[in-house]
Chain A
Amino acid sequence: MKRQIPLLLTFFAGAIPIFAFFVPEKHVGLVSTTLDSWLIIVAGFALLLGVVNVVQMNANKIKRQAQGWPYAIILLAGLAIMGFFGFAGSFNVFGGIATRPDGSSTPFDWLYKYGFLPLQGTMFALLAFFMASASYRAFRARNTEATILLFAALIVMFGRIPFGEMVSKWFPLATEWIMGKPSMAAQRGIMIGAALGAASMALRVILGIERSYLGLGKGE
């Protein structure tokens, strides 16, 4: 019983959108879109699961004075401040969470602009550095495959900058060709294979064969 119900639910929930995919009839579509609108809400509810876990873990850390516990205080402070303004904002306290009509920032928006965005942007920007170190290490002509990788990367990098164009006008043309033909062909191959793999996985989930995500093991 405890094991069958979730599997049946998965089967029916999975059959609905597949049915609706082929059947344009209004009521079928309605069932599917209604379920969709429910699940968006379920995903919203789920965030609290994460919040609970974060608060638990960090409170524990502080209590036990575990290694690095002062940072747990900083984390919880960030969560409390932003969470408070965000929660209050949904009741239109402090003018909501966006900018006010006169263009001034609400506290939530201010923290977003001067805290969240620079932190996020800088973490993202670190990629430029990491690409440099990764390419230095990995693009080495050790064997046939690595040599192909190396040359494709070098040609494209040259083809993207004016310098490459000045050396030879073939660099940008070669870049375009590589991106448009062999690279595109490989990506198509990956996509077709991966889509089949995903569909097969989906079928196994709907049929209840794959169920480790439910913590139901592989069956007994």
Chain B
Amino acid sequence: MRNSVHLAKRFSVCWLCLTLVLMLSSARVQGQTAQTEPAGNSIPEPAPPVAGAVTASDTKSDEGGSITVKWTEPAGSKEMGLEYEVLRSDKQDGAYVPVGELSAGDSEYADTGLTDGQAYYYKVRSILGAVSADSEPSQAAFSKGNFFRFYRLNALVLLAVFSSAVLYYITRARKAKPIYIRKIAGLDAVDEAVGRATEMGKKMLYIPGIMSVDEIQTIASLAILGHIAKLSATYNADLEVPNKDPLTFAAARETVKEAYLEAGRPDLFREEMVNYVTYDQFAYTASVTGKMVRERPATNFLIGSFYAESLLLAETGQAIGAIQISGTAEVAQLPFFVVACDYTLIGEELYAASAYLSREPVLLGSIKGQDITKFLLIVALGLGVVLESIGIKFMATAFKMQ
């Protein structure tokens, strides 16, 4: 336990450094804006009006190889139905080739596929039917790679607030008084569900969803599996974990094995407890439902990431009279679990489950940190609604920038 807190501390330091580096790098000023160049005034009669003030500069917040060209539209361009062509050259008075077409209403174009560090010049050609007129060329512009995506500043702020809150409460967790966590009925029922299977001398099925370990719900499910396997080892219950994803299968086997070891009953662990079925969602479902009706488990856990098979599994389990505890964050599948299972962990409850079950201060601390972030978001949301109502768009804009 102490080990993990130490580790957490050490990593927290790394983590904060990482965030800091990102924050600092975001402060780096960038961009190499070229000077504006007023357009000529003498326009031959039939020719369309020329685009003014053509500027070209490095496209911000990108990986390089791109220059953004901007210009001011001549008056009445929309009514005329003016069209633009953006031209590029690598010499100011060299040959210009067209790189992009736009229509009235646009005054910005991002040219891509360029070589960083090389000079480029741009002109904007106004086209009206068959006649056209070119603007003055822009100053030289250079593309380059940037060090921060400014449009993701909101995400960085959220990440910083969130991880600071979580880390603060994790490090405080051991010293501070125990953290209160509200009752989660589905998790209180776990002991009873395991006990019932033991009493009846029947099997428990644990289905960790159908996704791989790249899905966080699966990781959360494996954490809960660890706890249930420990209970199973203590009571000597008959646990089985059929899998759809091979990596989840590998991880689940490690989890269960370790849990039996920690419970002091490695002798009870058998490899077949955690087995692999098949990679197809519905073939897996057919096998598991078949297993359910034949072996009649007393308890089913359906916890993780589920899709259309949710109701097939839960309804079959219901039909054989098993106690069913389910949990998922897939919004579309929650209704089916709610109607067919005895208990359902809804969304965030699934992620809080491992902390709730183990009562480890470090894990509980992270739940507290999460709650603080949620509180701040609720405040931000309330503030956003108030500001929006009196016509100030600032908050909504900050949250919408992508």
A residues with CB within 8 A of B: 7, 11, 15, 18-19, 21-26, 29, 39, 43, 46-51, 53-54, 57, 68, 116, 119-120, 123-124, 126-127, 130-131, 133-135, 137-139, 149, 187, 190-194, 196-210, 212-220
Contacts and interface: CB of A to CB of B under 8 A. Distances in A.
A219 to B, nearest CB: 3
Q: Is the interface of A mostly helix, strand, loop or mixed?
A: helix
Nearest to A52: B276
A190 B335 CA distance: 12
A17 B18 CA distance: 12
A45 to B, nearest CB: 9
A213 B279 CA distance: 20
Interface of B: 1, 3-4, 7-8, 11-12, 14-15, 18, 22, 25-26, 61-64, 145-149, 152, 155-156, 159, 162-163, 166, 170, 212-214, 216-217, 219-220, 222-223, 225-226, 243, 246-247, 249-251, 253-255, 257-259, 261-262, 272, 275-280, 282-283, 285-286, 294, 308, 311-312, 314-315, 318, 329, 331, 334, 336, 338-340, 346-352, 354, 358, 360, 362-363, 366-367, 369-370, 373-374, 377
A123 B246 contact: no
A209 B334 contact: no
Q: 9 closest pairs, A vs B, by CB?
A: A215-B254, A197-B351, A219-B4, A194-B347, A138-B339, A212-B226, A193-B348, A50-B246, A197-B348
Given A23-B25, A123-B285, A210 B363 contact: yes
Contact of A205 (B219, B253, B275): B219
Given A47-B279, A207-B11, A57 B149 contact: no
A150 to B, nearest CB: 11
Q: Which of A50, A131, A216: most chain B Cβ within 10 A?
A: A50
Q: Which of A48, A138, A200, A215: most chain B Cβ within 10 A?
A: A200
Given A127-B308, A214-B251, A24 B62 contact: yes
Contacts, number: 236
Contacts of A219: 1, 3-4, 7
A135 B347 CA distance: 22
Nearest to A68: B294
B311 A131 contact: yes
Nearest to B227: A212
Given A48-B246, A209-B4, A215-B257, 5 more contacts: A23-B148, A24-B64, A46-B250, A190-B348, A203-B162
13 contacts: A22-B156, A24-B145, A26-B64, A47-B246, A131-B311, A134-B311, A190-B334, A192-B377, A194-B347, A194-B348, A197-B370, A201-B216, A212-B258
Q: Which of B61, B212, B366, B377: most chain A Cβ within 10 A?
A: B366
B256 to A, nearest CB: 8
A22 B277 contact: no
B334 A21 contact: no
A200 B360 CA distance: 15
A139 B335 CA distance: 11
Contacts of B22: 19, 22-23
Contact of A212 (B146, B255, B369): B255
Contact of A216 (B8, B148, B258, B360): B258
B348 A22 contact: no
Q: Which of B61, B246, B350: most chain A Cβ within 10 A?
A: B246
A22 B149 contact: yes
Contacts of B222: 212-213
Given A21-B152, A120-B283, A139 B331 contact: no
Contacts of B370: 196-197, 199-200
A54 B276 contact: yes
A46 B247 CA distance: 6
B148 A22 contact: yes
A208 B8 contact: yes
A24 B100 CA distance: 24
A11 B249 contact: no
Contact of B347 (A49, A130, A197, A209): A197
Contact of B339 (A120, A139, A214, A220): A139
B162 A199 contact: yes
B149 A198 contact: no
B329 A194 contact: yes
A75 to B, nearest CB: 9
A213 B226 CA distance: 8
